[in-house]
Structure 1
Amino acid sequence: MAGSAIRTGAWRSLLAPGLVSLVCLAILLGLGTWQLGRKGEKEALIARILARSKVEPPAPLPDAAAWNPERDEFRRVRASGTFLHGDETLVHGLAAGDVPGRALQGYYVLTPFRLDDGGIVLVNRGFVPTERKAPASREAGQVPGPTVVTGILRGSEPRTMFVPAPDPVRNEWFNRDIAGISASRGISDPRPYLVEADATPNPGGWPKGGQLRVDLPNNHLQYAFTWFGIAACLVGVFGVFAWRRLHDEPEPASSAHS
């Protein structure tokens, strides 16, 4: 009877750690499954970007009312118009430097572009390093008069919880917020998308376009294996813990002898 009670006590002692381990296991498996789902989404996104940005020829800008991000984003487009350089907006960002793995700090230059057929669209003309923030330091790149822009359509960039809030009064922006930037520049009816300019060189070399990278990393399978591996380790550790708890013989109680 005493042995049975000890075994029952051992099983009961596993209840709390077993429940905790089960919850952790469910979370780990959920994370691994989620990463597998993200892998499929990323592969579909990469295929869509490659097809639209490299294979298809440049198309005219879609009408504002007909804009459909699912269908139109990442399409190559071409537009004719005139830059409004006096209303350019600088958005904080990073760009690949000459040394692999070392990014450059600077800004993306978003400039309103008055279209020949009416309306205004924001154009991300490219990246400038911090020392080129002032337009006077890249005056040659302030292209005057009618011009043609070729690039890729993008929707507005959402602000995540890790991105600072913009300060329109100081003209400080940290994401490509089409509606917010347009409102701060007095553009009443902007196109609901922007154009990421291609790598066609600007006079003077700045801004540098073609910053949109279509070779997106896809490490989700590696992440999934990591989560599943941790889950397997958890099962193994708890199995050893439970086996020892159930099979270790209790120390015999000492008896006093006169």
Structure 2
Amino acid sequence: MSNVPSRRRQDAGATPRRKAAHIRRLVFVATILALAAGLTALGVWQLERRVWKHDLIGSVAARVRAEPAPAPGRSEWRDIGVATHAYRRVRATGHFDHGRETLVQAVTDRGSGFWVLTPLKTPEFTLLVNRGFVPFDRRDPATRSAGNFAGTVTVTGLLRISEPNGGFLRSNDPAAQRWYTRDIAAIAKARHIQGVAPYFIDADAKPNTGGYPVGGLTVVRFSDNHMIYALTWFGLALLGLFFARRLWYLTPSRFHLAEE
């Protein structure tokens, strides 16, 4: 009989601990379920991005194969964007202003060097044309003067969207004429070029006299890892549900022991 009060006191002390362990278990399970829901949402978003990316790849492929259209004029500049205009084949006729060319650092299948961006003055506006690639030893325009035609030219190529803000860990330095991306607005300001279109053209592979610059080196390729990302998020969500299920079926006493 002397042990009864002691057991009652132990049971009375154990009940609050079990309740506290049960509450903590519910909090853990709810947290895991919330994380699983978030991971599932990320997986669904990646599947949606995959559909968008495939549509973009298909539309770009059609633009690259299409007949060249006139370069967009001023009335169209406001509507130019990646989804509707990037990599569209266009043509423009005018005169090159070779004295205002800009060299932008480039890495290509031919090695490292520069893109040569030259203003093309058309009757209505000016646009920058990426005439192509030159290696470091052709940086000086005098080494490729044969290719700097002074008359009227018609350029055919792919419309590209401006690349502002510099490259990865490297900012454009207009004052020092160090360019890592083809930032149209910044180049136009630095070179005092008026009335510039908000896009540029990558010239096609038509040879230039003397061999430089080398055009037609545009790489049209898009990463498509969305399915891998989606499966990763879904897998992590399932793993979270597995742990939530195991945690839910632990008895309060076993959960309390697991915490200790």
- The bucket for the TM-score relative to the shorter chain is 0.7 to 0.9
State whether structure 2 residue 192 is matched by structure 1 residue 186. yes
Q: Which residue of 2 aligns with 1:206?
A: 212
Q: Which residue of 1 aligns with 2:117?
A: 110
Which letter does structure 1 place at the counterpart of 2:36?
A: L
User: 5+ residue gaps in structure 1?
Assistant: 98-103, 252-258
Please, which of 91, 94, 105 is the counterpart of residue 81 of structure 1?
94
Alpha-carbon separation, structure 1, partners of 2:38 and 2:242 = 16
Distance change in 2, residues 1:171/1:230 (3 Å): same
**CA deviation digits over 1:172-203, x for unaligned, max 9?**
22222211111111112112221111122333
Which letter does structure 2 place at the counterpart of 1:112?
A: P
Name which of structure 1's ranges 190-199 and 25-34 shifts more when overlaid on structure 2.
25-34
Alpha-carbon separation, structure 1, partners of 2:247 and 2:211 = 64
**CA deviation digits over 1:127-184, x for unaligned, max 9?**
3344443334444443443322111122322437945332111112222221111111
State whether structure 2 residue 62 is matched by structure 1 residue 36. no
Alpha-carbon separation, structure 2, partners of 1:249 and 1:69 = 60
User: Which secondary structure state, in structure 1, belongs to the residue aligned with residue 69 of structure 2?
Assistant: coil
Please, which of 231, 240, 243 is the counterpart of residue 237 of structure 1?
243
Alpha-carbon separation, structure 1, partners of 2:198 and 2:221 = 25
Q: Which residue of 2 aligns with 1:59?
A: 69
Q: Which has the larger radius of gyration?
A: 2
Normalized against structure 1, the TM-score is what?
0.79
Alpha-carbon separation, structure 1, partners of 2:44 and 2:139 = 44
Normalized against structure 2, the TM-score is what?
0.78
Q: Which residue of 1 aligns with 2:20?
A: 9
Please, which of 1, 9, 25 is the counterpart of residue 36 of structure 2?
25
Aligned residues: 243
Q: Which residue of 2 aligns with 1:254?
A: none
What is the root-mean-square deviation of aligned Cα atoms in Å? 2.9
Deviation at 1:107, TM superposition (A): 2.6
Richer in helix (by share): 2
Distance change in 2, residues 1:161/1:143 (3 Å): closer
Deviation at 1:66, TM superposition (A): 2.4
Distance change in 2, residues 1:119/1:36 (3 Å): same
User: Which secondary structure state, in structure 2, belongs to the residue aligned with residue 14 of structure 1?
Assistant: helix
Which letter does structure 2 place at the counterpart of 1:108?
A: W
Q: Percent identity between the aligned chains?
A: 40
State whether structure 2 residue 153 is matched by structure 1 residue 147. yes
User: 5+ residue gaps in structure 2?
Assistant: 1-10
Q: Which residue of 2 aligns with 1:90?
A: 103
